[in-house]
Amino acid sequence: MSVQSQNHRDAWFAPFFKELLASVKPVFGTTAATPFIFPGTGTGGWEAALSNTLSPGDRVVTFRYGMFSHLWIDMMQRLGLEVEVVEGRWGDGAYEDKLADLLEKDTSKGIKAVCVVHNETATGVTSDIGRIRETLDAASHPALLMVDGVSSVGALPFKFDDWRVDVAVTGSQKALSLPTGLGIVAASDKALDARSSAKLKRVYFSFDDMLKTNKNGGVPYTPILPLLHGLKASLGLLNAEGLDNVFARHHRLAEGTRAAVAAWGLKLLCREPRWQSDTLTVVEVPEGLDSQKIVDTAFAKYNLSLGLGLAEVQGKVFRIGHLGNMDELMLAGALGGVEMTLRDVGLPIELGSGVGAALKVWQEGTPVIPTRECLMA
């Protein structure tokens, strides 16, 4: 309607959008990068990252250790890149030593980019981007460092500037607790410079069109206004809580969940503690049990949405999310639901054991809500 609904061509939009772009930077841990907001998903963000910086035939190194790293590799291949895949166990993170080997052999510096999924939602693994950067530095290798931060940015510490990331990608639907619909990208100056030589075709996901219009607070095509307003509100909530508190809360929720899993006598798919994700926990089920049955029962009987095991770990794991707008009591309820479900499918779990273990972590670790400290005087 011409009269009533908001129009992004009216005068309010430019200052609103400029401020929004600026306010995206802290969740990436950057002051130096250039942010982009695409109408699309994180998958679109991946395409933006690759197509604005690379050319068909360019060599890239990446790691496959889960569904999402697998899908990104598939995209790289279909875009015509020459992809060197370091295969990993599903449940491990990016192997720094194998990367070091590849970089060492690349005496001609032909590798144009190293691509890493920071937090693998299929396996509950958080790779160590800081050590990936150290590995590149140790080899004095100039490859671009591209990071999929879709399920980490805004929930886990992400240090774009410290790690000297070149392109990082996230979406609206994970830590930002919004619907899907925004592919949010941060790019270093080095990444922006790579546009001039990048021969991959790009229009919809082109940095150029964004840069040209964004600088005056405009956009190259109609934006998703409700999501932009939602993004502003969501970033406002993160800031009100304090990013460090947000990270601490995710860590606390994850510690409780891991304590519950241990109390149940089950194993995490991610064996290596340094890689265990604070945004979701992926649990192996005992031999002979199909995890699909757990997911179905939880949904059918307790209205609880657990994550399925995907692809290679199908049937073997289930996933408990603790990302975004979640607190201890919601997660305690979910863990209670898991516990009942595990008994329903025949595991001899003692009811209360896992929840109790989590509560122990939380009773000790949960701070008083700052605005309510007066009640505790």
Q: Which long-range contacts (CB under 8 A, 24 or more apart) does 350-359 make?
A: 353/260, 353/263, 353/264, 354/259, 354/260, 354/261, 354/263, 354/264, 355/260, 356/263, 357/256, 357/259, 357/260, 357/262, 357/263, 358/256, 358/257, 358/259, 358/260, 358/331, 358/332, 359/256, 359/332
Binding mask 322-341 toward a second copy (x if CB under 8 A, else -) reads: x-xxxxxxxxxxx-xx-xx-
Q: Is 9 annotated as a binding residue?
A: no
Residue 74 contacts a second copy per CB under 8 A: yes
- Residue with smaller CB distance to a second copy, 94 or 359: 359
Q: Which two tokens stand for residue 63?
A: 């790691």
Task: Give, as ranges, the residues between 30 and 49 that touch a second copy (CB under 8 A).
Answer: 39-44, 47
The whole-angstrom separation of Cα 13 and Cα 21 is 12
One residue of 147, 227, 270, 285 binding a second copy per CB under 8 A: 227
One residue of 78, 108, 287, 288 binding a second copy per CB under 8 A: 78
Contact region for a second copy (CB under 8 A) — 23-31, 126-134, 196-204, 268-276?
A: 196-204
User: What's the min distance (Å) between Cβ of 131 and a second copy?
Assistant: 29
Helix/strand/coil percentages in the chain, nearest 5: 45, 15, 40
Task: Give, as ranges, the residues between 242 and 261 that touch a second copy (CB under 8 A).
Answer: none
Where are the alpha helices (H) located in 81-206, listed in sequence order?
A: 96-105, 129-138, 189-193
One residue of 134, 299, 315, 347 binding a second copy per CB under 8 A: 299
User: What's the min distance (Å) between Cβ of 323 and a second copy?
Assistant: 8
Residue 196 contacts a second copy per CB under 8 A: no
Task: Give, as ranges, the residues between 355 and 374 that touch a second copy (CB under 8 A).
Answer: 355-360, 362-363, 366-369, 372-374
One residue of 15, 26, 181, 234 binding a second copy per CB under 8 A: 181
Cα angle, residue 55 at apex, residues 49 and 60 outer, rounded to 5°: 70
Residue 212 contacts a second copy per CB under 8 A: no
What amino acid occupies position 4? Q
